[in-house]
A = this chain, B = another copy of it.
Amino acid sequence: MEEDDFLEHLVLLKTICLSAEAKDEPHVVAVASKNTYGDNRPVPIASLRLSVLPMISLDGFEFIPPVAFELKSGTGPVYLNGQHLILEDDEEYEARGGWLAEESLSSSAVVEEDTVTTFNSS
């Protein structure tokens, strides 16, 4: 494996959960990612409420960082958890149609009112 292999970053979102201190109001989490079609308007991906559905488990929702999360409704805080994969795209693997996960780091973020949270690849 050579040094100059191309590296790709991937964020796999796994859970989104409300803080025990969040108000009992609808919380809608939206995401803006460069791998979104056309315009970059944030798109709602989760709708939670403390007295109804305080968390959701996702089956590895993939995003290419940087990914920006924001609250469209609610005041939070809302916790997002996932894995940050650093992928190796060398020729052998490309030929095999797969990727090699070189490193996997836990990744997390908090979104609150009037903030935009970005997962960066560093």
CB A5 to nearest CB in B, in angstroms, measures: 12
CB A80 to nearest CB in B, in angstroms, measures: 9
A: contact size bracket: 35 or more
Please state if A57 and B54 are interface contacts (CB–CB under 8 Å): no
| Residues of chain B contacted by A81 (CB below 8 angstroms) | 43-45, 61
| Residues of chain B contacted by A117 (CB below 8 angstroms) | none
CB A122 to nearest CB in B, in angstroms, measures: 9
Please state if B96 and A83 are interface contacts (CB–CB under 8 Å): no
Q: Which residue of B lies closest to A106 (CB)?
A: B36
A-B contacts, 7 listed (Cβ < 8 Å): A15-B61, A19-B28, A20-B25, A20-B72, A31-B106, A43-B108, A45-B81
